[in-house]
Amino acid sequence: MTDDLPPVDTRDRRPESGDQGPGDAGPSMVHGSSASRWLQNVPVLSELPSWAAILVTLGLASVAVLVSLQLLELGLVVLYRGLGGLLTVLLVALVLAYLLDPVIDRFERGGWNRTAAIGLALGLFLAINTLAFLFLVPYVVTEVSDLTENMDTYVSELGDRGEALEQWVSVTTGRDLDLRFSAMVDKLPALLEKMPLDRIDPVRVVAQKLVGSTFGLLGFLVQWLLLPIFLFFFLRDFDTMKSRAFDLVPYRFRRVTLDHYVAIDEKMSLFIRGQLLLCMVLSVLYALGLGLFTDIDLAVLLGVVSGALFIIPYFGTFLGIVVGTMLAVLKFGFTIEVFKVWAVYGVVQGIEGALLTPKIVGDSVGLHPVVVVLALVAGGNLFGFLGILLAVPLAAAAQVLIGTAISHYQSTDWFQSGRDDAPEAEDLP
């Protein structure tokens, strides 16, 4: 049998391009040769220099990625338009489950059954919201009613102040503002005549709006009535969902996935849980300050809304100052009442920066306020309320991944070469 085998050539030979010699780099050479063979197998690319072929390949890959992203965006838009309401309810339930899961885990460590702990937490959550609703609704109704009744008086007094301001501006600058305003009013009838009002059927339009609004309201109520049900099951199975999702990760990527998950969860916790607690405290402080030290209408409601909107850093404060100033000027004119409003917001904001944020959020760095604002605006513009809910988790994930990429880049030999003689950032003027 062995006589039939061909003779073995024992002469030295050089390893071929695809072979791996004892001192070769191994997989990197194999991948490099595979890429070279792929470029050579494409007729158009094989006629180009290697650097040009690589550039063309990168360009085609970039176009493919951009087209894929556009198709993904189109699919998400279509999905959102069809199931946007239901997806929003599911996402709200998931966010609430994420916020309440540590509380349920703490009850479990204390010996509670998880289902009983969920029932207690949801009961307390519902009771607090019910009490807040019962307190705020009568107050808001009374305040809005008083504001409506006094609106004619406020407008009349504001008109008198406006005339005085107009006379002062005319005397000071020599410009007659009354003539300019009268000219604008004279142009209004001509603009109205150009509108095709005769083509509009008011009865048909109103009927369509009523029918559409009725069905839309019913669908909205049905969807949001499902929120407690979704929240209960998400809380009950939250740890199981995390475990099953982690089981889908390949073993070779589990360590890096776990590290990234912990980092993203830390940033989200710092922002969401810390910022929500901060918002509740600010709502109480703003409401007490405006209610006790100012006489503007809707003072308590304005304080609560200002604190709640602090979920977008400093947005609630800015909006509260603007609206509070308008309410003070409407009722009292530009008097000491305006400065009281400014003083309340200034003092509370000082307490927030010096005491509340260090104590509640801590010294750890979460999401930068500018990153949060940009993410919320971008998410709202793309996908509305659903995009706002997704903005913070995606921003946290992006910040962690970008930080990982920067750390990897700074650890490369190319970055570290010449470090001994290079100046540091502290040397910048």
What pLDDT was estimated at residue 15? Answer: 46
Structural domain containing residue 350: 249-409
Q: Which of 164-173, 200-209, 391-400 has the highest mean pLDDT?
A: 391-400
What digits encode the pLDDT tens for the residues 370-409? 787 888 888 878 777 677 777 878 888 888 888 888 888 8
What mean pLDDT value characterizes the chain?
75
Distance between CA atoms of 381 and 77, rounded to whole angstroms? 12
Could you tell me the pLDDT band of residue 3, with boundaries at 50, 70 and 90? Answer: very low
Could you tell me the pLDDT band of residue 426, with boundaries at 50, 70 and 90? Answer: confident
In a 3-state reduction of DSSP, which class is residue 429? coil
Determine, yes or no, domain membership for 307. yes
Determine, yes or no, domain membership for 379. yes
Contacts of 317 (CB under 8 A, 6+ apart): 306, 310, 345, 349
Determine, yes or no, domain membership for 349. yes
Which is higher by pLDDT, 177 or 388?
A: 388
What pLDDT was estimated at residue 111? Answer: 87
Across 55-63, average pLDDT: 77
Closest CA to 386 of 20, 39, 7, 92: 92
Whole-number percent of the chain with pLDDT over 70: 68
Could you tell me the pLDDT band of residue 45, with boundaries at 50, 70 and 90? Answer: low
Determine, yes or no, domain membership for 133. no
Which is higher by pLDDT, 314 or 187?
A: 314
Across 312-335, average pLDDT: 87
Which is higher by pLDDT, 292 or 331?
A: 292
* Contact indicator for 219, 85 with CB cutoff of 8 Å: yes
Across 293-297, average pLDDT: 89
Determine, yes or no, domain membership for 44. no
* Contact indicator for 321, 303 with CB cutoff of 8 Å: no
What sections of 252-368 are H helices per DSSP?
A: 254-268, 274-293, 299-308, 315-332, 336-351, 357-360
Q: Answer whether residue 95 shows pLDDT above 70.
A: yes
Q: Answer whether residue 130 shows pLDDT above 50.
A: yes
What pLDDT was estimated at residue 187? Answer: 62
* Contact indicator for 75, 206 with CB cutoff of 8 Å: no
What pLDDT was estimated at residue 50? Answer: 66
Q: Answer whether residue 200 shows pLDDT above 70.
A: no
Across 197-213, average pLDDT: 51
Distance between CA atoms of 369 and 367, rounded to whole angstroms? 6
| HSE-up of residue 386 (Cα within 13 Å, Cβ side) | 17
Closest CA to 374 of 398, 352, 345: 398
The 10 Å Cβ neighbour count of residue 239 is 14
- From the number of C-beta atoms within 10 Å of its C-beta (0-12, 13-18, 19+), residue 30 rates as middle
Closest CA to 147 of 371, 298, 309: 298
Could you tell me the pLDDT band of residue 21, with boundaries at 50, 70 and 90? Answer: very low
Determine, yes or no, domain membership for 110. no
Could you tell me the pLDDT band of residue 281, with boundaries at 50, 70 and 90? Answer: very high
Distance between CA atoms of 105 and 271, rounded to whole angstroms? 20
What digits encode the pLDDT tens for the residues 219-276? 667 777 888 888 999 999 988 998 999 999 999 989 988 988 888 888 777 777 778 8
Q: Which amino acid is residue 11, in one-letter code?
A: R
Dihedral of the alpha carbons of 345, 351, 352, 356, in degrees to the nearest 10: -150
Determine, yes or no, domain membership for 262. yes
User: What is the residue whose two structure tokens read 């951009």?
Assistant: 66
Domain count along the chain = 1
Across 181-186, average pLDDT: 57
Give pTM, 2 decimals. Answer: 0.60
Determine, yes or no, domain membership for 155. no
Q: Answer whether residue 195 shows pLDDT above 50.
A: yes
Q: Which amino acid is residue 117, in one-letter code?
A: A
